[in-house]
Every structure is written in C-alpha cells, then in structure tokens.
C-alpha cells in the first residue's frame, strides 16, 4: 500500500512542539493543544490546531470580540486546507495551502517530512523561524478513522 493510501483518514493531534537548535522545546499552543487533520483519497486535506482554554468572547458574537479577545484567539489557533501530494522517495507530504487563518500561508507549499508507524503519523517541518530563532516543528497524530 502506498504512503498516500495509508494517510487517508482523520487524525487527532497528540503532540505539537517546536524544537530549537539549542534543544529547548516550545509548545506554541500549550502542552495540551487540540487538533485534527483529514486527508482524502482525492488529494485534499484540512487541518486545525488550537490552544485549549481560549477565552470566550464576552459579546457572544464572533464578529464583536474586543481586540484583546480576538488577538488571544487568533494567536492560539491555526486552520488551513487545500490539496496535498506525497513525495514518496523523499518521505515528504506537500500541503498546497488554498486558504488559511494565517493569510501569509495562502498560495504556499508547506513541506512536511513524515513517518507512519501503525496508527501514528509524525510530521516534521523543515527548520523554520519561531519567534526569531530556528526550530523544527514536530506534530504527532493518532488515527481516528
């Protein structure tokens, strides 16, 4: 079975961290971030990651949050979707980002090195900047379906 066929399904986030070159580990959405990524057999994906405990908006209306409420929620969440392809020989999944909560990602190709171990999927980013320092993002997912 191809790696692409093995990716198809829904995956629940188990761990999300960035590892800096000095060995420091950072959890950008907290140590117990939540998330889900879905890969279809037609080459589409959707991913959401969120910090637990994001504040409710006092107005009870998504379009009427205070600047502080909106900032706290935006900084604790990422959501994006589009098409994906698997580069089997390189062990890479490429997410072609169609739309994202972070608009700078739109139209980009996000490369993720992957490992499949039973019902676990590990995605690693290439070295990237995190708060001005180089780091590698590591996301561990467990198969739901």
Q: CATH no. for residue 61?
A: 2.40.128.280
Per-residue pLDDT at 91: 95
For the segment 100-135, what is each residue's pLDDT rounded down to a tens digit?
Answer: 999 999 999 999 999 999 999 999 999 998 888 899
Show the tokens assigned to 111: 């490369």
Here the tokens at position 61 are: 């209306």
**Alpha-carbon span 25 to 15, nearest angstrom:** 12
- Is the pLDDT confidence value at 13 over 90? yes
First to last CA, the chain: 17
Domains contained in the chain, number: 1
Which domain, by its residues, includes 112? 3-143
- Please report the pLDDT score of residue 145 as a whole number: 86
Using CA atoms, how far residue 80 sits from 60, 74, 91, 117, in Å, is 24, 13, 21, 25
pLDDT score for 129: 87
């Amino acid at each position: 079975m191809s790696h692409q066929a093995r990716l198809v399904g829904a995956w629940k986030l188990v761990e999300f961290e960035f590892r800096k070159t000095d060995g420091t580990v950072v959890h950008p959405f907290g140590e117990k971030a939540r998330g889900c990524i879905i890969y279809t057999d037609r080459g589409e994906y959707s991913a959401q990651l969120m910090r637990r405990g994001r504040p409710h908006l006092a107005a009870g209306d998504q379009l009427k949050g205070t600047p502080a409420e909106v900032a706290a929620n935006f900084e604790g969440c990422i959501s994006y979707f589009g098409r994906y392809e698997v580069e089997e020989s390189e062990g890479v999944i490429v997410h072609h980002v169609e739309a994202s909560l972070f608009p700078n990602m739109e139209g980009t190709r996000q490369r993720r090195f992957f490992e499949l171990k039973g019902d676990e999927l590990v995605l690693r980013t290439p070295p990237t900047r995190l708060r001005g320092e180089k780091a590698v993002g590591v996301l561990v997912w467990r198969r739901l379906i």
